[in-house]
Amino acid sequence: MFKKLFGNKEKVEQLLAPINGQVINIEDVPDPVFSGKMMGDGIAILPEEGLVVSPIDAEVIQVFHTKHALGLRTKHGIELLIHIGLETVNLKGEGFEVHVTEGQRVKAGDKLVTFDIEFLKSKAPSIVTPIVVTNGDLVEKIEKTDSTQANIKETEILKVYVK
């Protein structure tokens, strides 16, 4: 009744693909930390090129010194981790170039990181890139894309409903 009278005040965050590539279920990521959702729930993409853009308007809250991952916070407080490849922390930043700094505000589609995809393929166990919500306590539910292909700024990969 309240929603009917006053309108739906539901808070929803819509994330667009930050990478062009094949969509993979988080449960199928070949790393138990991600597949077991220990870091949080989300989706993964097998990149076709070495470009990562922001999936949503957000603040950059963490840039790992090894350049392989970064954290974003959306306007409703949802925190996202974009982790490029698996065990890529061991590369100590080699093959990555970060284009943002902590505290910077970004818009959906802004360039975050570029990476040498061939170098990563040769040095990392996998280039699968998980995109996860790390503060699931704020989440009512997550709807995931049923698309098998992700296209930057086009494919909505996640819809996050905030409590």
Q: Which residues are catalytic?
A: 83
**Which token pair is 49?**
């090129």
Would you say 108 and 54 are in contact if contact means Cβ atoms under 8 Å apart?
yes
Torsion of CA 133, 134, 140, 146, to 10 degrees: 20
Which amino acid type is present at position 22? Q
| 3-state class (DSSP) for residue 59 | strand
Using CA atoms, how far apart are residues 17 and 23, in angstroms rounded to an integer? Answer: 9
The answer to whether 137 touches 113, Cβ cutoff 8 Å, is no
Cβ–Cβ < 8 Å for 161, 22: no
Q: Are 77 and 138 in contact (CB under 8 A)?
A: yes
